Amino acid sequence: MKKVLDFVQRFDLLPRYELLLAAASGGMDSMCLLDFLYENGYRVCAAHYNHQLRGQEADMDEDLVRAWCAARRIPLCVGTGDVAAYAGENGLTIEEAARKLRYDFLNSVAGQTGAARIVTAHHANDNAETVLFHLARGTGMAGIAPKNGRLVRPFLCLTREELAAYAKEHHVPYRTDATNADTALTRNFIRAEVVPKLCRVNAQAVEHISETALRLRQEDEYLDSLAAAYLTELKTEAGTVTLPCAAVAQAHAEGAAPCARRARRGEEGLHRRALRRACRALRGKRDSAARPARRRDRAAHGRCADALRTPEGNAGARFAPRRGDRPVGRLCHHLPKMRKNG
């Protein structure tokens, strides 16, 4: 597939002579990924995670991956975990818990095997669905990254239909997860109900949304680098993010240049972005609280940004203060305590 090889080169995804760890669920996408890597001569090993959610069906997924890898002498690591129990213990949805345990497993295997990349089979439809999901929730529109550290996704340039054609042409065996048809799950609803209607507006809606998401992610990374400049003096301790007002007041002085109003609007956007980064720094890897925390963070971002709009950036401002103490010359954002994963 020249299209994939060009995409791989464009984003520097798959080092030719290093070991690649392919995530293999047994579904069409991941089995096509395994076949693609194997047929194109990459050094590949595979990892399969059994979520213990579908009983015998999940065991049959595992059996397929085992048989396919054994026939080609591809090393395979298999992990398992009680996703339902983990979700209940940590206040997560089943989808969130499954993703957390699966990626913990993949990272562990990559460390043990020395794999240079973890390769997943996310494709253009996944990317478009993610963008729509994030837009509906108000959490951005950058979509799925082709590369995030050692995690790479070389199939983002392909639609689900193109993968189905590849599977048919290359006789790739795969299993179908019946739960993907359950439209009570939000992502399945978007896949089954929303995307087909958008494709009636434009047959290439999936490709257009996915490619736009890739461009927006590149711009997002650039804006993040600008926002990071505000955080050079950031301090996080005891559940508090502290940022000196002097670090952000300069932006307002720069806003006095020609087109000041437009410049100020841009700086306000960077302020919000900087505050989001600060909140993420404080939250760290406490994934169990990530979903409810986002709503609290958005409200706090607004209050902090309101303070930063004043010409002097406020001599000092503190939100959710403790025992009435009022620091001077800094902006302080205190986040509620969050549960740690068990």
Beta strands in the chain (DSSP E): 20-23, 44-50, 76-80, 117-119, 147-148, 151-152, 235-237, 240-244, 317-319, 330-334
Which of 221, 204, 209 is CA-nearest to residue 162?
Answer: 204
Separation of alpha carbons 245 and 14, rounded Å:
43
Separation of alpha carbons 1 and 157, rounded Å:
11
Beta strands in 34-91 (DSSP E): 44-50, 76-80
| Residue-level length of the chain | 342
Q: Three-class SS of residue 147?
A: strand
pLDDT by 10s per residue, the chain, length 342: 799 999 999 999 999 999 999 999 999 999 999 999 999 999 999 999 999 888 899 999 999 999 999 999 999 999 999 999 999 999 998 889 999 999 999 999 999 999 999 999 999 999 999 999 999 988 877 789 999 999 999 999 999 999 999 999 999 999 998 888 888 888 899 999 999 999 999 999 999 999 999 888 888 788 777 777 766 666 766 666 676 666 655 544 444 444 444 445 556 666 667 667 766 666 654 443 344 445 455 555 555 555 544 444 443 444 343 444 444 344 444 444 444 444
Do 24 and 47 form a contact (C-beta atoms < 8 A)? yes
User: Under 8 Å CB-to-CB from 46, ≥6 apart: which residues?
Assistant: 21, 22, 23, 24, 34, 65, 69, 74, 75, 76, 77
